[in-house]
Structure 1
Amino acid sequence: MRTSSQRRRLFRPRATAVAVLAGAGLAFAHTTTGATLAGPILAAAAGGHGLPDPAAPVPSPVTTTPRPAPNSTLPFNAKLTSDDIPVPGGGVRNGACSGSLIAPQWVITAGHCFHDLADARIGGRPPYTMTVTIGKVKDTDPGGHTARVVDVKQSPVNDLALAELDLAINDIPPVTLNTQRPVVGQQLQFAGWGSHSATVLGPSDHLKRGRFTVSGIGQSTLEAQPVGKRTVENGPCPEDSGGPFFTSDDDHTGTLVAIVNTGPPCPQPGAETIARVDVVANWIREQTG
């Protein structure tokens, strides 16, 4: 993400049409259907004796299909999407961000992924539905988890936020928080679900990955340069906001060093500005503990 004119923001205007919501609350209504019970209670109400009918067929045992396991490649990565973000003047639009699982019920992402109509970062329950998918590297992967954000904590020092989920995810190892000051020359990996264009927005259907080198260290941010030629597949683009910059020895677990904030229009060369995790590691533990 960048300044108000540059950031790969969740709230950058889309090319898609804006639609006015009518009865949006119905979209997530749940209807509970009562099952008809057969047995002594119904039999007694009908004037019977409340005893099973020996001639009645024996029901087949219920079998449960095991849930597919999350993808083992960087399972902590998170894709955040919304299709009901309010816009000034009425109506809604789509948007997306990226992130990482840092605790069973918490995801870390960019602070500006949660904002009001004036584009100011906000905490608390978001004013739009944010769906989080964790444990996939492609939209078509059978495993993984889907949750919704119910609360947001904004970092006091940089463009970083913690999003609380409506369910705990216990079969994916969260990223470890880096607590050491990064050094110039340190090698980092990047992962995100952002677009493949600086102008045509829409999240990717697969996890993008790349490699970067720390080139500068600020008080609460880092600068990172891509290793090799930058493309829309190996570097942050719009909607990669919050994507992790991390280290990993096994492509399964990871240590989170920073998250995507802003950078040059993809796929142009130049340094990414990323929010440091080590300077807020204690604060993160306090919020998620």
Structure 2
Amino acid sequence: MRLRALLAAAVLTITTAPAALAAPAVAHGSDVPPGQFGFVAKLAMTKIPRPDGSTYGSYCTGTLVAPGWVLTTGHCFHDAHRTRVSGKVPYPTTVTLGLVDEATESGVARKATEVLQAKENDVALVRLDTPVSTVTPLEVSRAVPKVGRQLTLAGWGSLTGTNPAPATRMQQGTVTVAKVDQTTLGVRGAAPEITTSACTYDSGAPYFADGELVAVEATGPGCPHAGIETTSRADVIADWIATHTA
């Protein structure tokens, strides 16, 4: 398994790709219809530090869970040695919501100002500089997920882990819960294909059903793949999210 940290907070030898090279998100997924999933956020980070003093740019995906807060993977925010950090956002980060196609829509853009890391799993809350009033946040599930339940995955990641590029069109796919652990879920691709899976720049992407966030993308095998993807359960941090976003 490869940490999705290396895929979404960047493949260290790759800088931000130009828009002309952008590929669809969620490997072996399908287009998200216009007007859907406005709560899915695209996080664009610049000036991320390396140990040698150089910097690079990268992307993650997230979910609006309150007007002023986005939930994403914790490892999207780290220091030069890839240790997760809390407090002031460690590098410039723009959060864009309310769109599925960057070629035809502008969406709602905000700057990230603060990061709070969860203790239970690899998840972080990101405070926005101004609350978003035009996009409805996604509710956070408090129910323990069950094996066999189908979830929708939506994200801004790459079509493949080889020469990855951030998406300009949001993609979606259906996965099935394969295993339930204490703080994580293992999921497998179900549709459009059994190889439908999260990919580079999908870190933090939401897995949801019935209008509720069930899990957040964490890590998995090289994409696309038919194996088990590891996601962070939302129910185990629902109280933590509510406390900080109230």
Q: Which amino acid aligns with 1:150?
A: T
Secondary structure of 2:87 counterpart: coil
| Worse overlay, 217-226 or 132-141 | 132-141
Deviations 1:83-119, CA, capped at 9 Å, x for gaps: 2111121221111000110000100000000000110
The equivalent residue for 1:262 is 219
Q: What aligned pairs does 1:145-160 form with structure 2 within 5 A after superposition?
A: 145-160=108-123
Q: List alignment gaps of at least 5 residues for structure 2.
A: 17-33
Determine which structure has greater relative contact order: mean sequence separation of CA pairs < 8 Å that are 6+ residues apart, divided by chain length: 2
- The residue number in structure 2 matching 1:165 is 128
- Equivalent in 243, 261, 269 of residue 205 of structure 2: 243
Counterpart position of 1:12: 11
Percent identity, aligned pairs only? 39
In structure 2, the CA distance between the partners of 1:14 and 1:132, relative to structure 1 (3 Å rule), is: farther
In 2, distance between residues paired with 1:82 and 1:137?
19
AA aligned to 1:264 is: P
* 1:84-99 equivalences in 2 (<5 Å): 84-99=47-62
**Match of residue 184, structure 1, among 123, 135, 147:** 147
Give, in angstroms, the shift of residue 199 of structure 1. 2.6
Q: Secondary structure at the match of 2:88?
A: coil
Q: Residue 80 in 1 paired to residue 37 in 2?
A: no
Residue identity matched to 1:187: Q
Give how far 1:208 is off.
1.4
User: What secondary structure, in the 3-state scheme, does the structure 1 residue paired with 2:75 have?
Assistant: helix
Q: Structure 1 CA distance, aligned partners of 2:35 and 2:120?
A: 33
Q: CA deviation at 1:154?
A: 0.3
Could you tell me how far 1:201 is from its partner in structure 2?
A: 2.4
In 2, distance between residues paired with 1:284 and 1:180? 15
Q: Which residue of 2 aligns with 1:30?
A: none
Cα 1:128/1:7, change in 2 over 3 Å:
closer
Is 1:283 aligned to residue 240 of structure 2? yes
Tell me the CA shift for residue 230 of structure 1. Answer: 4.3
C-alpha separation in 1, matches of 2:3 and 2:40: 25
- Whether the aligned pair in 2 keeps the contact of 1:136 and 1:143 (CA below 8 Å) is yes
Greater strand proportion: 2
Shift in Å at residue 81 of structure 1?
0.7
TM-score, length of structure 1 as denominator length: 0.75
Cα-to-partner distance string for 1:198-230 (whole Å, 9 max, x where unaligned): 131221111111000001000000000110434
Q: Secondary structure at the match of 1:261?
A: strand
Match of 2:239, SS?
helix
- Tell me the alpha carbon deviations over residues 98-144 of structure 1, each in whole angstroms, 9 at most, x when there is no partner: 01100001000000000001101111112210111000101123342
SS at match of 1:283: helix
Q: CA deviation at 1:2?
A: 4.2
Contact 2:78 / 2:84 at 8 angstroms: preserved in 1? yes
Per-residue deviation at 1:7?
A: 4.8
**In 2, Cα distance between the equivalents of 1:222 and 1:137?**
26
Alpha-carbon RMSD across the aligned residues, in angstroms, is: 1.8
TM-score, L = length of structure 2: 0.87
In the alignment, the residues of structure 2 paired with residue 167 and residue 140 of structure 1 have an alpha-carbon distance, to the nearest angstrom, of: 24
Q: What is the count of residue pairs matched by the alignment?
A: 228
Rounded Cα–Cα distance in structure 2 between residues aligned with 1:242 and 1:230: 21
Q: Distance in 1 between matches of 2:145 and 2:59?
A: 28
Q: Secondary structure at the match of 2:177?
A: strand
Preserved CA contact (<8 Å) 1:14 1:94: no
1:64-143 aligned within 5 A: 72-143=35-106
Q: Which residue of 1 aligns with 2:19?
A: none
The answer to whether the aligner puts 1:221 opposite 2:220 as a matched pair is no
Counterpart amino acid of residue 13 in structure 1: L
Q: Distance in 1 between matches of 2:2 and 2:142?
A: 25
Change (3 A) 1:7 1:89: closer
